[in-house]
């Protein structure tokens, strides 16, 4: 008997970007957001936000709590109408052309999206039945480790199980475009890797994926393109490699046992000279970027000795997206302010 072919995760479709004359059209773009403005009362969630998601890409939308990621995604998914600006998804207006768009997209919400009393597998089979060409439910149940909780009501699932079920419900209809909001929050490392594997496979099969995440490694592992958001605006865009290259790709991280003296950043900057930036992270840690190399490391070590600063760790490594965000905003991705 010939082997059963692996299920293809995307439905075969004719290209359907929308007509080039339609507003917001960009060749090869799955999503185009132009000058989006959204507010909740006095709170500004999107402040002239523009971004493009290329077709076939995994595009990560990154930013601290409250940056406007979920609002932007919900507007693209048609759950909210733009108060200003335009949004086009697969060439369509997600609010006015919702019925046309819905069968072509998959949405994994941050929470909810399922009936609290429904059993996990029953729920997934129900969603599958609403699609013309669903993936085999058994395959998804197995791939996402849902077999053990298939008969468990949604409200009794653990946070990680709920996440996996939400992901399964988002992909079961073989969407052309998948929106995933914080897909791996609450997942253990093994399931997280399985989820990444599934998303990569979907991309290989031609699915465009838009994901929001707080996890830098997730963005670095999965994304071809990263849009960094802060306070409702896109402050940087590029591939992870482009964003982390900068003026010098290495970073030195110094973590100390006692809090730094107040003038430490300035004093270290003077000791290092040249094109080096010193950014305090917390009272006990700082970052050296720019032309950071082995000799810079030696200078930092000598500076510590001269100033009676005892390092807990001193490391030279690749610049990460977290470092980039910090340099752009003066805040960490978790949103905490960097002490002056």
Ligand X SMILES: Nc1ncnc2c1ncn2[C@@H]1O[C@H](COP(=O)(O)OP(=O)(O)OP(=O)(O)O)[C@@H](O)[C@H]1O
Name the minimum Å distance from CB 46 to ligand X: 8
Residue placing its CB nearer to ligand X in the complex, 66 or 248: 66
Distances (CA, A) of 175 to 75, 171, 207, 269: 18, 6, 7, 51
- Please report, as ranges, the residues that interact with ligand X according to CB under 6 A: 40, 43, 45, 63, 65-71
Q: Tell me the sheet residues that pair with 153.
A: 119
Residue placing its CB nearer to ligand X in the complex, 38 or 146: 38
Q: Is 30 exposed, middle or buried (0-12, 13-18, 19+ CB in 10 A)?
A: buried
Residue placing its CB nearer to ligand X in the complex, 206 or 332: 332
Distances (CA, A) of 87 to 50, 72, 131, 220: 9, 9, 25, 26
Residue placing its CB nearer to ligand X in the complex, 12 or 40: 40
CA distance linking residue 68 with residue 181, whole number of Å = 12
Name the minimum Å distance from CB 128 to ligand X: 28
* Pairing verdict, β 250-256 and 225-230: unpaired
Name the minimum Å distance from CB 323 to ligand X: 19
Q: Tell me the sheet residues that pair with 10.
A: none
Name the minimum Å distance from CB 63 to ligand X: 5
CA distance linking residue 198 with residue 200, whole number of Å = 5
First vs last C-alpha separation in the chain: 69
Phi, psi of 248 (to 5 degrees): -160, 135
CA distance linking residue 269 with residue 79, whole number of Å = 48
Name the minimum Å distance from CB 83 to ligand X: 12
Residue placing its CB nearer to ligand X in the complex, 63 or 280: 63
Residue placing its CB nearer to ligand X in the complex, 36 or 128: 36
Residue placing its CB nearer to ligand X in the complex, 5 or 41: 41
Helix (H) or strand (E) run with residue 189 in it:
helix 189-204
Helix (H) or strand (E) run with residue 100 in it:
helix 98-101
Contact present, 202 and 170 (Cβ < 8 Å): no
Q: What is the largest CA-CA distance in the chain?
A: 75
Name the minimum Å distance from CB 331 to ligand X: 13
**Which DSSP letter does residue 4 get?**
P
Helix (H) or strand (E) run with residue 251 in it:
strand 250-256
Name the minimum Å distance from CB 251 to ligand X: 24
Name the minimum Å distance from CB 43 to ligand X: 5
């Amino acid at each position: 008997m010939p082997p059963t072919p692996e299920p293809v995760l995307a439905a075969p479709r004719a290209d359907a970007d929308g007509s080039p004359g339609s507003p917001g059209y960009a060749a090869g773009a799955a999503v185009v957001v132009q000058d989006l403005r959204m507010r909740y009362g006095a709170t500004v969630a999107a402040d002239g936000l523009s971004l493009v998601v290329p077709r076939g890409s995994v595009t990560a939308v990154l930013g601290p709590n409250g940056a406007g990621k979920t609002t932007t995604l919900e507007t693209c998914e048609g759950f909210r109408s733009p108060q200003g600006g335009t949004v086009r998804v697969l060439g369509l207006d997600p609010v006015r052309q919702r019925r046309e768009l819905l069968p072509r997209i998959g949405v994994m919400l941050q929470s909810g999206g399922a009936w609290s009393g429904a059993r996990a597998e029953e729920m997934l089979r129900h969603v599958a039945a609403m699609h013309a060409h669903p993936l085999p439910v058994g395959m998804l149940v197995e791939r996402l480790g849902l077999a053990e909780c298939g008969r468990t009501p949604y409200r009794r699932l653990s946070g990680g199980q709920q996440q996996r079920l939400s992901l399964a419900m988002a992909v079961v209809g073989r969407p052309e475009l998948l929106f995933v909001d914080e897909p791996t929050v609450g997942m253990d490392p093994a399931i997280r890797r399985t989820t990444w594997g599934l998303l990569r496979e979907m991309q290989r099969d031609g699915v465009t994926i838009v994901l929001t995440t707080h996890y830098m490694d997730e963005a670095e592992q999965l994304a071809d393109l990263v849009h960094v958001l802060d306070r409702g605006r896109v402050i940087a865009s590029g591939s992870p490699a482009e964003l982390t290259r900068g003026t010098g790709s290495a970073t030195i991280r110094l973590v100390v046992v006692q809090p730094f003296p107040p003038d430490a950043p300035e004093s270290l900057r003077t000791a290092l000279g040249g094109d080096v930036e010193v950014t305090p992270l917390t009272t006990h840690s700082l970052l050296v970027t720019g032309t950071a190399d082995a000799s810079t490391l030696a200078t930092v070590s000598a500076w510590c000795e001269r100033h009676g600063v005892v390092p807990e760790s001193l490391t030279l490594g690749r610049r990460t997206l977290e470092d980039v965000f910090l340099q752009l905003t003066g805040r960490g991705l978790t949103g905490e302010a960097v002490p002056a």
